[in-house]
Structure 1
Amino acid sequence: MSRPVLATLDLSALRQNLLTARRAAPDARVWSVVKANAYGHGLDRIWSALAGTDGFALLNLEEAILLRERGWKGPILMLEGFFHADELELFDKYRLTTSVHSNWQVKAIQNARLHAPLDIYLKVNSGMNRLGFMPDRVHTVWQQLRRLHNVSGMTLMAHFADAEKPDGITHAMQRIEQAAEGLDAPRSLANSAATLWHPQAHFDWVRPGIVLYGASPSGRWQDIADSGLKPVMTLSSEIIGVQNLKAGDTVGYGSRYRAGGEQRIGIVACGYADGYPRHAPDGTPVLVDGVRTRLIGTVSMDMLTVDLTPCPQAGIGTSVELWGQEIKIDDVAHAAGTVGYELMCALAARVPVVTV
């Protein structure tokens, strides 16, 4: 029998979350962002549940080719574009839309031998200072690309660093408007947070990511509690051991936790090698047999320990939810000093995954 740790993916929740994103931006088309192997959910497992999208957005050629081989015929946007000029042969073969964020990419497109022109997303540096052209360069680069026979449709693309804040896109929008001045160009600007909370940034295409998987772009699940978004991934396990502590007994590596009195604890088959955050502190929420309790002691590679005081009925074989429907992944991430994105993406390959 395999270890009881298990990740369960609710595909109906995924479909519901896509509909929620559409309702938030009813006049825009939707790029469903499935980068990082669909945020750790497994692209091959979940893409068909998102087949109602207008297009998929990702990073890796292998994942784009997988979608084509599985039968997806709609648009695919490569968010970082191509990394080497010789990849344009595959962009041509599989009809991929490429972002363009550097001068060398413009030259590579100009020199490529393609069967048909490619759609282009011209990336504007909106102040985040990762990829993209400065606003005062965009008009020139746009005209350069427009003259190339290898270029078909063109769209302005940008990203937001602070869209989870009420006024978080103001400065970025000023830069984007500067870049777009005089251009009759479609735009794709809105990430998850802007899709939910900044309708002035919706334009032609929105690019929801984390919200498709049911977590909050702000890191606070309370911010999406009334949105209709539902968690897709549930990480669960079972208690595989029980210990009865006396006052002064310690738990786990480093003896971080010390019992203040008699206490019953449960040992759960899940650790950092499964993707649970090693730095989760004492008090991180856990659900045991439907009862909310807390993590105690340092997370080990293969096990973690929970306080059974609130659930005296629990014993070996009792079910445990680490995150999912009741224990929000955002709460676990916040306790561990990270974000829900990281926990999703860190799900280990050794954890069995089932879809429902």
Structure 2
Amino acid sequence: MNATRPSPDPTVLSNLDRAIARGVAWLAGSQRADGEFDVYASLAPDLTLGCNLDPSIFPTAVMAQALGHVPEADGPRGRALAFLVSERDRFGLWRHWARRNPLSASLPPDLDDTACASDALGRGGYDPGTNREILLGNRDRHGRFRTWLVPGTGWTGHDRLTLTASQLRHIPVYVKFFQSTSASLDDVDAVVNANVIHYLGEGDHVRPVVAWLKTIIEEGREAQCDRWYDTPCVVRYFISRALRKLAPDARPLMTARLAETALSGGESAFETALTACSLLDWDLLPHDLIHTLLADQGEDGTWQRQALYHGGRARRPGGGFANPVPDTPHWGSDGLTTAFCLEAIARYRAISGAT
């Protein structure tokens, strides 16, 4: 890994272009007519057992963000953005499950889905909506963003008060949700915060979140900082992309941490792609990791599925989280892994001088 920019190699360029073309073709062919990308829920983190389709917003939002780095993917990305627009509520917010999912109305809107969908839309030329006031009003006393948008967690601002009033009739449903899951009204999660500031951009709201994220990386607590994410390379991916834009002074910290963890890339193409993207955030060229991704691409143009996030875990009284219980669902798909792999390869192609 280094920042040297080699002269373009026609063979390397051809291999990168071919991998991207095959992956994009598969995504375009597998995408639903309304623009949604399929995601699966499974009790196995590697999604090898009992996978069931589970229509959800977050995977399509994150895939649209990743595909924003891939010029060849403008078609599938555009259809994904149209799907996100169709799923947005009147306050500019999103829930985890898509409307066609029978469970959609059983949970409140959240900042993770809302931030990633809004960011994808904004970067894709769409109006991301008027949700900034609502998100900025959903912070704790330390200035960190709460995960859930529910009555009583920030009675500030006209938009927030209007939202709160509209939610009052759903209180029984929300009570059942929080009683039957590991979620808590006062959840404050690191990846969620990274995604929120990545969307909102610069402002006074950034400072406390950046300080928290830097501490997590410095102390190596990636696996114990978020209820919904426990794979370290996933956490680093989201934190890295936020810090790259909003805290460039974090470069020594991030590059040192990545140097400790990125030697092998990961145990799967999914982890390799996320690690490569984090290195590319700081202009480091992960030559070996990209070559591994090229070698691991399937004949159909995809890379093997693995879970990106799960259904949560209990918070320990002294800090950190317990392991997910055995019946915790995990979400991922071939398409989600493929989008991350395409992001890594396309960004490598751009930054290495291969094009």
- TM-score of the alignment, normalized to the shorter chain, above 0.5: no
Choose between structure 1 and 2: higher strand proportion.
1
* Structure label with greater radius of gyration: 1
Choose between structure 1 and 2: higher helix proportion.
2
Which structure carries more relative contact order (alpha carbon 8 Å, separation 6+)? 2
